[in-house]
Amino acid sequence: MKKAFLYFILVLVALSMILPFLGMFLISLSGNENIFTDYKNLNFSFCAYKNVFESIPVVKYFLNSLIVAAFTTLGQVIISALAGYGFARAKFKGSDVLFFIIILTMMVPPQVNIVPLFYLMSKLGWVNTYQGLIVPGIFGGFGVFLMRQYFLSFSSELEEAARIDGCGPFQVFFKVALPCAAPAIATLSVFTFVTSWNSFIWPLIVTNTDNMRTLAVGLSVFKSSFREITLWGELAACSVICSIPVIIVFLCAKKYLINNPQEGAVKE
C-alpha cells in the first residue's frame, strides 16, 4: 500500500512537470490569437514554427546558444574538477580560507556583477564576441563546491593503489579520480548547460547585433514588451525549440547520474 501511494505521488509530480510543456506544445500548434478564451476553434498547424523561422534567424541564434552553452559547460567542468580535487586532496596553507572565499561568491547576486563585468569585457574588447559570452560563465563557486564534496566522500584507496603502481598526481587524477566522478560531472554539466542555455540578461547586455544573439534573447522578440501584441503561438513554438537541447542533454547524462560512483574506475 505504501509503495502504491509512493508511485501515485511520483506520477503526480511527473505530470506536474510534463503538463506545462505539453500545454506549450499545443499552444505552438495553434494559430488562433484567442487561444486562452476560444477553445472550440483551435486550428492545429505548424504555421507558428514557420513564422518563427521567417521572423528571426533561429538557426543562427540556436548555433550561438549551442556554442556558448557547450564551451561554458566544458570550461566549468574542467576548472571545477581540477579545483575541487585540489581542495579535497591537497592541504596547503590558507586552503580553507581560499575555499571559504570561493563559497562566498555563491552568496553574491549575479545582478551585482553585471556592471563591473561589462566594464571588464569592454576593456578587453570582448563585447559582442563569443569570449564575452563564454568566459564569465566558466568560473563558478557551485562547481568547485560540488566537485570538492564529491572527492571528499570518495574513497582514496584506489588512488593509493595507483600511486603504488607508479602513477603521478596527474595520472591519478585523470585515470582514477576523474572517471569515478562521472555522476558529479554529469550533474554539474546538466546544471551548467541549462543555466547557460537559458541565460537572458547577460547575453542581452554583452551582445548588440543579431549575429551574436542567443536563442533566449531571440525568443523575447515575440513578447508584448517588444511589439504591439504578444504572438503566443510563435512564442510557444520558439520555447519548444529552446527546450529540445536541454531535454537531450538530460537524457544523455541520465545514465551517469544513477551509476555506481566507482563504476568505471577499474577497466579490464
pLDDT digits (tens, 9 = 90+) for 79-135: 999 999 999 988 788 888 999 999 888 888 888 889 999 999 999 999 999 999 999
Whole-angstrom CA distances from 210 to 121, 204, 215 are: 19, 11, 10
Q: Mean pLDDT, the chain, as a whole number?
A: 84
Of the pLDDT bands very low, low, confident and very high (cuts 50, 70, 90), residue 264 is very low
Of the pLDDT bands very low, low, confident and very high (cuts 50, 70, 90), residue 35 is low
233, with CB counted inside 10 A (0-12, 13-18, 19+), is buried
Above 80 in pLDDT, residue 38? no
**Under CATH, domain 46-257 is a member of which superfamily?**
MetI-like (1.10.3720.10)
Above 70 in pLDDT, residue 268? no
Helices 141-153/58-89 angle, 10° precision: 50
- Rounded mean pLDDT, 140-167: 86
pLDDT of residue 118: 93
* CB-based contact 230:224 (threshold 8 Å): yes
Q: Look up residue 180 and give its amino acid.
A: C
How many residues are recorded in the chain? 268
Name the residue ranges covered by the structural domains of the chain. Answer: 46-257
Residues 6+ apart with CB under 8 A from 114: 201, 202, 205
- Rounded mean pLDDT, 229-254: 84
Above 90 in pLDDT, residue 156? no
Above 80 in pLDDT, residue 263? no
pLDDT of residue 179: 87
pTM given for the model: 0.84
Cell of 255: 545514465
Buried b (16+ CB within 10 A) or exposed e, 70-101: bbbbebbbebbbebbbbbbbeeeeeeeeebee
Above 50 in pLDDT, residue 266? no
pLDDT of residue 8: 87
